[in-house]
Chains A and B, each alone.
Chain A
Amino acid sequence: MALSPKDLFSQDEFWILLFFLGAVLFNWPILSLAIGRMSAASIPTVLAYISAVWILIIAILYWFDRGSES
C-alpha cells in the first residue's frame, strides 16, 4: 500500500534523499547541461534551471509544513 505524503515526510530517509538529490541537481554534471545556453526569454538557462530547482525545494518544504499543520 502506498504511503501518504505525511508518512513519507516522517521518515528520515526521505529527507536524506531530498538532500542528495538537491546536491546532485545543483552541481556538476547536471548543472553543466544548463551552462552556456540561452533560453527563449533571454534568460540564461543556468539561471532559470537553478531557480526552478530552488523553487521546487521550497515547494516540497512548504508542503511538509502545511501537511503537518493539517
Chain B
Amino acid sequence: MISPQLAIVVMVLYLLLLFGIAQYAVRRGLEGRSIVQNPYVYALSLCVYVSAWTYYGSIGRAATTGLEFLPIYIGPVLAMTLGWVLIRKMIRVSKEYRLCSISDFISYRYGSSYVIGALVAVLSLVMVTPYVALQLIAISISLDVLSGHTLLFGVDGTRRLIVALLLGVFAVIFGARHMDPMEHHEGLILVVAFESVVKLAAFLLVGVYVVYGMFGGYHVILDQISQAPQYLELTDVDFTLWFSLTLISFFAVLLLPRQFHVTVVENAEEKQLKKAMWLFPLYMLLINLFVPAIAFAGVLLKTPGLADAYVISIPESHGQNLLAGLVFIGGFSAATAMIMVESVAVGGMMLNNLELPYLLRKIGKGKNLPATLINMKRLNILLVVMLGYLYSRLVAYDILASIGIVSFLAVSQLAPAALGGLYWKKGNRLGAVAGLVSGLFLWIYTALIPALASEGSWLYEGLVKNGPAGLTVFKPTALLGSQLDIWTHSLFWSLLVNASLFVLVSLLYKPSPEEEAQAEAFVDIYQGKSLKPAKMSIAQMGTVAELESTLALYVGQDRATFLVDAELARLGTDRETIDGKQLLELWNAFERVLTGSVGSSTTRMIVEDSVPVRPVVEAAVATEATYDLPPGHIFIVPEKGYEVFTDQITHGVEGLCVTHLDPDEVRSRWGFKETPIIVLGRERGKDHYISPTNLPLLFMTLKSFVESSKNSLVLLDNIEMLVKANQTLVPEKEVLDFVYEIELLARKSRLVLAERHEFVHIDLKGEIAEARELIFTLGPLSYYLFSVFSQTMLSRLDEAVKRDVIDEANDLISAGGFFEEAGQKRPSDESPEASCEPDMRDAVRSPSPNLRVDASIVLSRRAFFVAIRRLARIIKKHDQEFDLGASVANLMKSYGRSRYEVLLVPGTTYVVEETKPSKSMELYAELVNHGMDGLCISRYNPDTLFERYGISQKTVIWLTQKSEPGFRTVDPTNFPRLSSMISEFLSRANYPVILLEGLGYLITQSNYETVLRFIQSQRDEIAIKDAIMLVHIDPLSLDTKELHRLKSELEPFEV
C-alpha cells in the first residue's frame, strides 16, 4: 500500500515523462527527422485500442464469463486481414481530400453533408462521454487498490478530478497546437506509442509473476482451474454473443474516432500499414497471453474486490508493491492514451461539424478567426474530458463496465454509411441519414437505455422490464419477442434497420450531380478519379490574392501565404503567370486545405459563401413575358439585348448581366435591382468587376452562376469587346476555348449576346436570332480556328518540307483556290492590321510565319474543313507519312468535333463494309453527337439503336412493313417515299449526315437493280446538297459482281 499523495506524485511524474517524450518528438519533427513516421511507432499507436476498459476489463470478463473477452480482440485481428484492401482505401481517400475525422470522412462522401457530419459528431460525443468516464473510474479504482480509498483534501472524487484535469491539459497541449489537423501530432503519437509499450510490459511482467512466481507455470493454473466447479462455464462459449462481439469490435477498430485518428489521419505513408497489419495482431496476442492465467489465478486465490482489478490486486495483496505500481502505470497509460486521442478526435469533430457551421453564420468572418478556432478546439477537448468526469461521478462502475460494449455498438452504426459508401456508389446522402438516424435511435433504445437503467429505477420498471406501456412486443431487450442476449439483440435490430434503410432510401432517391461526382471519386479512388474541378459545382474562381485572403481568415495570413506559395511552386507557376487551369487546381488545393482545417461541411459553407454572383429572382411584373427564350439556346440580339434580358428576369428567370457599361446606368435605365451585374473592367466597386483579359475567371463565374440556378439567363455584352481586349494579349486558342466553353455552358442556361450586326456572320432575321456554332459565327473566330489548326498541322513537319508546303499553299491562296468561300468579310477598318504595310500584316497576323491568310476571312464550318483538307493534301504531297486525322484529333476533340468530320468530305457518299453495322452506327452516332444533323435509315428498331448506340429515336427511319405508332417507319419497297423523306431532311438540315443501313433487306424486299438505282439517285442528291451519306454493306450478302457495281458508285471509308 502506498500513500495517495505518493500515487498522485507518481502520476504527475509519469505525465512529465510523457511531456518530455512528446517534446522530443516535436523537436525531431521540426528538425525534419520525424520519429512518428517510423512504421513501428505507427503500429504501436494503433494499440491505443487497448484502453483501461480492455486492460482491466479483459481480466474481469475472463474471470466471470470465461473466454468471452477474446472476440473484442479477434475482430481487430480480422480487420487487419483487410488492411491492404479496406484501411488503405480509407487512408487514400482521407489523404486525397484531407479528411481529418470519421465525421468528415462520412459527411464528405455524401456531398459534404452538414447533417451527416453533425449526426456523427453527436453520436461520437454521446458514445465517448461514458467511455472516458470508464477510464477515469478505472484509474480511480486502481488507485484505491494501490493506496486505499482515502479522500484527498477531504473531498470525495478529488483524485479523479485532478487526473481528469491533468489529462485534459495534456491533450490540449499536444492535440491542439495548430488548426490543421492533417499535420501530424508528433508529440501525441509518440506518447501513445510509448504508452503502448508500457502497458504491454506491465501486463507481461505481472503475467510472468503470477504464472511463474506464484503458480510455477501456466499449466499449473490450468490444471487447478480445471478442478474448479466453474471450469466448464469458464471455457464454454456463447457462439451468438461471440460472433456479435467479434463483429462490433471489427467495426470499432475501424471507426472509433480515436482509431480512425491514429490509423488514418496520423498515417504518414501507406506502406506503414504493412507493418501494422502484423504488429497490431501480435500486440493483441501478447497482451492477452496471460489474461486467462491472471483471471483464473484471481478466481483460485479468491482475491477480494472487483474481478476487473485482479491484475493489480493480486500483486498488491502479495506485497509486490513495486509490481502493483508498475501495473497501475500500465493501466494509467491505457487510460491516458485513450482519453487524449479520443478527446482530440471528438473535440475536433465538435468544432468542425457542430460549432463552426453555426459560428460562421452567426459571427461571420471575425478578425482573428484562427485564434478563435484553436481556442474553441482546446475548450472542446477539455469539455470531452470534463463531461467524462461528471458522468463518472453520476454512474456506478458495474453499469459502466458494459459501457465499453455499448460504445462499440454505437460506433457500429456508422458502418453502413462509412463502409458502404466506400464501395457502393449508389449510396447517397438521404440513405445515409435514414440509416444513421434509425441506427442511432435503435441503439439508444435497445442498448443504451437497458445498460443504464438499474433495477428498480423508473426507467427499468416503466420501459426495460415490460416494454413501453406494458407492450412486451416493444421491449427494448426483446423486440418482437426475439430471444437473444442484450448485445446481439441490439446489434441485430439496429444494424438490420440501419443498413436496410441506407440501401432502400439510396435506391429511392437520386443524388445531386455534385454528390454523384463525390461518390464516384470516393469509390474509384484507385482509378485516379479525383474530383475534377469542372465537376465541382462548389469550385469558385478568384484571383490568387482573393483565394489567399479567404484562406487566411481560417488558417492565418502567414500560413495561408506559405500554403499558396507552396502550391504555386508545385504547379510550376507564380502569381503573375498562373493560367486558368492552374488557378482551378489552386482552388482545388485551397478546398482541401480548408477541409483539413475546418472539416468538409464547413468548407462547403465557406466556399459557397464566396460565390461571387448568386442567382436572384427580380420582382415579377404582372404581364406575360414578351419574348420566348427556351432554355439551352444562344440568342444574338443586336439592338434589344437589355430589353430582352429585362423582360426575362422580370418574369421569373434568374439573370446575370455581364456588361462593359456603367452598372448604375444599366440598373437605372432597365429598372432591375437585385440581379447581379459583372462589369468587364479593372476597377473595383460594389459590383463584381472582372478584367476582360481574365477569361478563366469570367468563365468560372458564369459557370458557378449557371450551375447554382435552375432557370438562368446570361446577358453577355459582348464577345466582340472581349475578343478585341485579348487580341494581342492571349493566344488565339485561349479566346477560342473561352467562346467554345461559353457555348457549352449555354446548353444549361440561356445566353443572350448583344453583338453588333457587323460582328455576326449569319443572317439575323428579326430582332432575335438563334446561333449554334459561335466559333463559325462571330468575328475573327473562324480565322483563329484555321490559324490554330494549320499551325498544329505544320508543326509536325521539318523546316524544308514546311517551307515547300507553305509556298504551295500561298500560291493557291493567291490564286483564290484555297478557301472555298470567303464568306462575308469583316469591314477592313475593323481589321487591326489594316493600317499596316502588307509585309507587316503578314508578320502580325499570319497563322504561321509565312502562310498568307487574310485575317478578315470568314469561314463557315464546311469552308473551314475544306481548307483544312486542302492544306492536308498539300502536306501529304510532300510528306507521305502525314495523317490528317491523327494530327488534328486532339484539336477536333477540344472543340467538340468528331475526329471523322475532317476526313469525310461533304457531297460524298461513302460505303462502310462490315458484317454487322456496329462501326457504321458508332460513326453515325459520333458525328451526330458532335453537332451534325443526322438521319438514320435502318432495319433496326429505333429503341434498340438508342439502347446500343445512343442514337436518338427522332433521327431514325425504320425500314419495316409494319406501322408502329411513335416511330417513323417506311415500307422497304416504297422508294419514292424514302426519297422524299431524305429530300425533306436535306432541305432543312444545316450540316447533314445520312446513314443507310439495311441494304440486304431492301434488296430482299425488291431487287438489286432497283436498290442500286435508288442509291445512284441519292448519291446525286447528296452531292448537290453537300451532305454526307454513309452506306453500310455486308460484303457477304452480295455476290462479287453486285458488290463491285455498288462499290464503284461509292467512296470507301475505313472506320
Contact = CB atoms under 8 A, between A and B. Distances in A.
Contacts of B74: 26, 50, 54
A36 B232 contact: yes
A55 B284 CA distance: 11
B278 A15 contact: no
A65 B275 contact: yes
Contacts of B409: none
B239 A57 contact: no
Interface of B: 67, 70, 74, 77-78, 80-85, 218-219, 222-223, 226, 232, 235-237, 239, 242-243, 246, 271, 274-275, 277-278, 281-282, 285, 292
Contacts of B239: 27-28, 31-32
A5 interface: no
Contacts of A32: 237, 239
Nearest to A41: B219
Contacts of B84: 9, 15, 64
Interface of A: 9, 12, 15-16, 18-19, 22-23, 26-28, 31-32, 35-36, 38, 41-44, 46-47, 50-51, 54-55, 57-58, 60-62, 64-65, 68
Given A15-B82, A22-B77, A64-B277, A58 B235 contact: no
A28 B243 contact: yes
Nearest to B78: A22
Given A19-B82, A22-B81, A26-B246, A61 B277 contact: yes
Contact of A35 (B83, B219, B236, B243): B236
Contacts of B275: 65
A54 B78 CA distance: 9
B82 A42 contact: no
B845 to A, nearest CB: 57
A23 B219 CA distance: 28
A16 B82 contact: yes
A50 B70 contact: yes
Nearest to B84: A15
Contacts of B274: 64-65, 68
Given A15-B85, A22-B77, A27 B281 contact: no
Contacts of A38: 226
Contacts of A42: 219, 222-223, 226
A55 B285 contact: yes
A42 B85 CA distance: 39
A57 B281 contact: yes
Contact of A16 (B80, B85, B218, B285): B85
Contacts of A9: 84
Nearest to B221: A42
A43 B237 contact: no
A43 B222 CA distance: 7
Contact of A44 (B78, B82, B235, B282): B235
10 contacts: A15-B81, A35-B237, A38-B226, A46-B235, A46-B237, A47-B292, A57-B81, A58-B285, A64-B278, A65-B278
Contacts of B82: 15-16, 19
Nearest to B74: A26
A43 B226 CA distance: 10
B67 A46 contact: yes
Given A16-B82, A16-B85, A61-B281, A23 B246 contact: yes
B59 to A, nearest CB: 15
B285 A27 contact: no
Contacts of A28: 239, 242-243
Contacts of A31: 237, 239, 242
A18 B219 contact: no
A16 B446 CA distance: 31
B244 to A, nearest CB: 11
Given A42-B222, A50-B70, A58-B278, A23 B78 contact: yes
Contacts of B80: 57, 61
A22 B277 CA distance: 14
Nearest to A51: B285
Contacts of B67: 46-47, 50
Q: Which of A47, A65, A68 has the most CB of B within 10 A?
A: A65
A46 B237 CA distance: 10
B277 A43 contact: no
Nearest to B239: A28
A43 B80 CA distance: 27
A42 B585 CA distance: 66
Contacts of B77: 22, 54, 57
A61 B81 contact: yes
A7 B548 CA distance: 46
A66 to B, nearest CB: 9
A59 to B, nearest CB: 8
A19 B281 CA distance: 13
Contacts of A61: 80-81, 83, 277-278, 281
Given A31-B237, A55-B285, 9 more contacts: A22-B78, A35-B236, A36-B232, A47-B292, A50-B70, A54-B74, A57-B281, A61-B278, A62-B278
Contacts of A55: 285
Contacts of B237: 31-32, 35, 46
Contacts of A46: 67, 235, 237
Contacts of B285: 51, 54-55, 58
A47 B67 CA distance: 9
Q: Which of B78, B81, B223 has the most CB of A within 10 A?
A: B81
A12 B89 CA distance: 11
A67 to B, nearest CB: 9
A23 to B, nearest CB: 6
A22 B81 CA distance: 8
A41 B219 CA distance: 7
Contacts of A36: 232, 235-236
Contacts of A60: 81
A59 B218 CA distance: 24
A15 to B, nearest CB: 5
Nearest to A12: B85
A35 to B, nearest CB: 6
Contacts of A27: 239, 242-243, 246
A37 B102 CA distance: 43
Contacts of B243: 27-28
B277 to A, nearest CB: 5
A50 B285 CA distance: 10
Nearest to B224: A42
A61 B82 CA distance: 10
A21 to B, nearest CB: 9
Contacts of B222: 42-44
Contacts of A19: 78, 81-82
A2 to B, nearest CB: 21
A18 B86 CA distance: 13
B476 to A, nearest CB: 26
A62 B81 CA distance: 11
A43 B281 contact: no
Contacts of B235: 35-36, 44, 46-47
A41 B78 CA distance: 28
Among all A-B residue pairs, the 4 with the closest Cβ atoms: A61-B278, A28-B239, A62-B278, A65-B274
Contacts of B292: 47
A12 B285 CA distance: 26
Nearest to A10: B84
A21 B189 CA distance: 33
Q: Which of A15, A55, A58 has the most CB of B within 10 A?
A: A58
Q: Which of B219, B243, B271, B274 has the most CB of A within 10 A?
A: B274
Contacts of A23: 78, 246
Nearest to B289: A51
B223 A54 contact: no
A31 B70 CA distance: 13
Nearest to A22: B78
Contacts of B218: 43
Contacts of B226: 38, 42
Contacts of B236: 35-36
A57 B243 CA distance: 18
A32 B730 CA distance: 77
